[in-house]
Amino acid sequence: MVAMQYPITGVAPPTLGEVRVRVVWPSVAASPGIASLGKALTRTYVLAPLAWAIMGMVYFAKVMPFTARRYLLTNRRIMILRGWAGKVGGEVPLAKIREVKVVTDANTNFFRAADLHILGDGSEQPLLVLPAVPEPENFRRAILYSRDAWFPRAVEGGGAP
C-alpha cells in the first residue's frame, strides 16, 4: 500500500493562508457589576430567576449585531472581532507574543472565566487584553501552542509552555 499525505482539516502553515484555530465567546463575567449581582442573586432560591434574567441580557448581547464580540485565534494572529461582520477590534501577531497571563477576579471561579493578558517582548504592559475568556487556561495553551508551532523562533529555548 502506498502511503499518501492527507491534509488535516483546519491545519495549514501561515504561508499558505490564514486559518481559524479556535473561536471563543466572552462570558457574562465581561460585565463585572452584572456578574457580581448575578452571582449574589443566584445564591438565593427566591431571587435566582431574577439573576438569570439580568445575566441573560448580558449573555445574549454578545451575539447581537452591534454588541457582538468574540476572540479568534488563527495560525497567524489572535484577534478581537466585533459585530456580526467581524470587524477587527484589536489584534496581535503570534510571532510577537512572549507570554499569556491568566488574570483572575472575584467572579472567576463562579463563571469559570478570567481575563487573558497577551504580553510582548520588553514590557509588562499587555499588547492585548481578552476579558472574561471561558476556560482561560485552555485558550491560553491554544495560543501558546499555535505560536510555538508556527513561530518557534519567537520562543526562547523553543519549548512548549
Structural domain including 119 reads 20-26+63-153
The DSSP letter of residue 39 is H
Give all strands (DSSP E) within the chain, no chain letters. Answer: 20-24, 69-74, 77-82, 87-93, 99-103, 113-119, 126-134
Report whether 129 contacts 117 (CB < 8 A): yes
Closest Cα to residue 38, out of 53, 22, 20, 18? Answer: 53
State pLDDT tens for residues 47-77.
Answer: 988 888 988 888 888 778 888 899 999 989 9
The pLDDT value given to residue 97: 93
For residue 118, tell me if it sits in a domain.
yes
CATH of the domain at 72: 2.30.29.30
pLDDT exceeds 50 at position 44: yes
Name the domain count of the chain.
1
Q: Specify the range with the lowest mean pLDDT, choosing from 10-19, 21-30, 40-49, 57-66.
A: 10-19
For residue 58, tell me if it sits in a domain.
no
The pLDDT value given to residue 5: 47
For residue 71, tell me if it sits in a domain.
yes
State pLDDT tens for residues 86-137.
Answer: 899 999 999 999 999 999 988 888 888 999 999 998 778 999 999 999 999 9
The DSSP letter of residue 65 is T
Pairwise CA distance, residues 43 & 53, whole Å: 15
For residue 85, tell me if it sits in a domain.
yes
Compare 106 and 24 and report the one with higher pLDDT: 24
Cα distances (Å, whole numbers) of residue 54 to 34, 48, 74, 115: 7, 10, 33, 22
Query: Could you identify the residue written with the cell 487584553?
Result: 129
pLDDT exceeds 90 at position 31: no
The pLDDT value given to residue 3: 45
For residue 43, tell me if it sits in a domain.
no
The pLDDT value given to residue 32: 82
For residue 142, tell me if it sits in a domain.
yes
For residue 117, tell me if it sits in a domain.
yes
Q: For residue 160, name the pLDDT band (cuts at 50, 70, 90).
A: very low
Report whether 51 contacts 41 (CB < 8 A): yes
Cα distances (Å, whole numbers) of residue 141 to 44, 50, 61, 101, 116: 36, 36, 27, 10, 11
Pairwise CA distance, residues 116 & 126, whole Å: 9
Closest Cα to residue 52, out of 67, 39, 69? Answer: 39
For residue 34, tell me if it sits in a domain.
no
The pLDDT value given to residue 158: 47
Identity of residue 78: I
Q: For residue 81, name the pLDDT band (cuts at 50, 70, 90).
A: very high
